[in-house]
A and B are shown apart, each in its own frame.
Chain A
Amino acid sequence: MLALLEIKDISKRFGNLVANDKISFTQMQGEVLAILGENGAGKTTLMNILFGHYKPDSGEIVFRGSKLPAGKPGNAIEVGIGMVHQHFTLAENLTVLENIIIGEQSLLSFSLPQKSARKKLQDLSDRFGLPINPDTIVANLSVSEKQRLEILKTLYRDCTLLILDEPTAALTPQETDSLFSTIKNMVKNGLSVILISHKLNEILAVSDRIVVLRHGKLVGEVVTSKANRTEIAEMIVGGTVNYPKKEKSSPGKEVMRLENISCNPINESTKGLNGVDISLFEGQILGIAGVTGNGQTSLAKMMSGHLKPKNGELFFDKKRIEVFNPKKFMELGVAYIPEDRNIDGLVADMSVWENAVITEISDEKLGNTLGFLNNSSCNDAAQILCETYDVRTQTLQQPARLLSGGNVQKLLLGRWLIRQPKVLIACQPTRGLDEGAIASIQKLILDVRKKGNAVLLITEDLDELLKLSDTVSVIYNGKLSNSFSAEGLDRARVGLMMAGEGFYD
């Protein structure tokens, strides 16, 4: 086999953070190379350098024996490198075809070659078994169809090395399997693939060779067939992580109950709800499984008072709730951790202490009657919060954006938990965190359950969901399945339900 790609001594810093530290490795022609590492290990940064989104501070990339000019995706595309980003790079309001042909022609050219593009796309679809309708508006595609489109985009530009960044994050187990067979099919057709993941199981199933990154450094290279699971797991986190264990807990009384609730979607990227029934019990975690965009956000927003249902009833402690506003639900004892920490959670350009007390500011406990802020009590409150929930910050005065992802999430979760909520609604609470932080967040969530409060857990990560939840329901197209006991639940069956099996219109 020939060396296709050589990564040589790549380093990249962001401010004080060393994202990549002198990383070197080689990929062979026709190989599926897996880059493994926990969130924040530097995998995506490295791929963004390879694809030209970022310019490395030092080091170089050699592709097919010649140096790849850094810093321009155009160069990478030209030599045959294609990348499917974790967050899809699609213009939602344009058609599939428009998303595919952009970039092929010079900006100064006078026409869009729609006809020949259509034909080429059809050929690629047939050859790789990736059917798609070229005239659909992208917004109407499902998550796995969008991924298919992303792959076709790269194939259309004659890519010979395909980079897939966390491609399975939003897929059902069955869709994951189908993606893997597509990958194998591509290799058969002469392509090489770089697969980025933090899921060891998947990597072992599909890759030829594994490269492990930790804290921006390359810490190991193994041929998959000779890989030892435990060794790699330790290589990824640099030791062992103590994940919290779920203790036995029997359901207490019912705290929150939804009866036949329907509502309109809160935004374009999710579905509304259609006749949903839910019961949350004290000391129990209800996990909601489902492919992102099937109504999870609407459900969480509705249950935290941000969204008023069209019909149906919501009871809290047996009392029917008439008024839907976030403040009212806060007072009832509902805490809501939104999925996008940086948009809906953190006010990044305010200080750590300001972010710590912001939920209390509205109750005006921290000021005097004239409306002046009491700085010392604010500081004390922030201090207590950071100590209780182990938020590591240099000072309380530093801007919150300098906190690491794990500390941000501990701060956000902490400022709700300190209010002793009766119901915690947590959306994707561990997404994008490193393993140590994941363990701490999972422990905080289990603590809520231990104290006898109710939790609604929404996460894409099926393993996490099955591990933490007592009962699991599947959401599909705004409808919710019955709930099943999490113990001994069959992953494959949940996967099929996530794809819509068992839901009727």
Chain B
Amino acid sequence: MIDFRLEQREHVSPWLVFFAPIGAVIFSLMIASILIILAGVNPIESYIKLFVGAFGSKNAIAETLARATPLILTGLAAAIAFRAKFWNIGAEGQLYAGALAVTFFGTGLIQLPSFLMIPFLFLVGALAGGLLLLPLVLLRNYYKVDEVVTTLLTNFIIVLLVGYLLEGPWKDPMSLGWPQGASVIDEGVLPQIIPRTRLHLGFIISIFTALIIWLILSRTILGFKIKAVGINPSASHHAGIPVIKTIIIVALLSGGMAGMAGVTETAGLKGYLTLDLSPGFGYAGIAVAMLAGLNPIGIIFSGIFLASIYVGADAMSRAMNVPTYLADVIVALTVLSVLISIIMLQFKIVLGGQKRDI
């Protein structure tokens, strides 16, 4: 039908690798502008409103960075897993597992001074996220049960569990009927880093975490193994790398990152667990990771970028009467355009037998 072939490139310029995601972003904003036009509004004006909404004031910037915090962490969760071709699509559930752990330990059960309490909460949150993934990774490794589906299904189970706990045994009696958990004790609350904004310590922690994950992936033996297992598990196995063990470590790390996102949201942004704690941070993390080319450093920037889309879209929606769902559309378009850019980097497109270098 269509005479169209892909031919592998032998060398890819590092500049191209750097600019490809930016091209993808511009491409998706252009496509999204068609929708804005359909909504009867001027796209350029809308994007200006969006930009101002995300970066136009101290408060806006603080809000954007606060929103970036969980996105960076769920982005790391996706990146670690995807590098090993372990398809953890369950960051949403693992985020809530982390939040549950914070509510369980951080609302009075354990009392520690702040400098211990905060690390403690991150630890139990990460553990909860990782442990939620553990049975699923074991099922995958030993019973060949596809992890894509089990992680996705687990998201729904955990959200229902949260719903039960918040309407039942963990419901805060002070909350006047709203289903929400008890407040995290003062020692456990992540302090604001810009006064009178919602930006909290979690942001700094997420950036540090990204740096540490970058070190692990690029400079350590574990990172080497993860890379090898992700590219060719069979060859890695034959070369003596313990593939199953590596995948389990990947799962624990990945789930741990998502669990930490639950901690930043519960102990940082809100101070207590609610049913709408995450408006899909777990799924958006996939977009964050893809946009960054699964690079942890890049995730800091792509996390902030996507956060600005979400935050800016709210402002734009109020000013221009474009539904806020536009932000989700842009994020989805970003995922798909990044895929195109990845293919373009890997391959030359050959049409009708004649090469055209695209």
Contacts and interface: CB of A to CB of B under 8 A. Distances in A.
Tell me if chains A and B make direct contact, with any CB pair below 8 A: yes
B238 A361 contact: no
B150 to A, nearest CB: 25
Interface residues of B, number: 26
B219 A372 contact: yes
A308 interface: no
B176 interface: no
A278 interface: no
Contact of A346 (B8, B220, B232, B240): B232
A16 interface: yes
Contacts of B234: 343-344
Given A350-B228, A364-B221, A373-B224, A326 B240 contact: yes
Contacts of B148: none
Interface in A348-363: 348-350, 354, 358-359, 361-362
A371 B231 contact: no
B306 to A, nearest CB: 27
A373 B235 CA distance: 20
Contacts of A347: 228, 231-232, 235-236, 239
Given A347-B231, A348-B232, A366-B221, A327 B240 contact: yes
A367 B238 contact: no
Contacts of B228: 347, 350, 354, 358, 361
A338 interface: yes
A499 to B, nearest CB: 31
A421 B227 CA distance: 27
A55 B37 CA distance: 43
A239 interface: no
A330 B235 contact: no
A346 B232 CA distance: 8
A73 interface: no
A145 B227 CA distance: 41
B221 A367 contact: yes
A450 B353 CA distance: 52
Contacts of A402: 10
B10 A359 contact: no
B220 A326 contact: no
A361 B221 CA distance: 7
Contacts of A344: 234-235, 237-238
A402 B10 CA distance: 8
Contacts of B238: 306, 326, 336, 338, 344-345
A53 to B, nearest CB: 11
B233 to A, nearest CB: 9
Interface string B291-323: 000000000000000000000000000000000
11 contacts: A14-B7, A326-B240, A344-B234, A345-B235, A346-B235, A347-B235, A348-B232, A361-B221, A373-B220, A373-B221, A402-B10
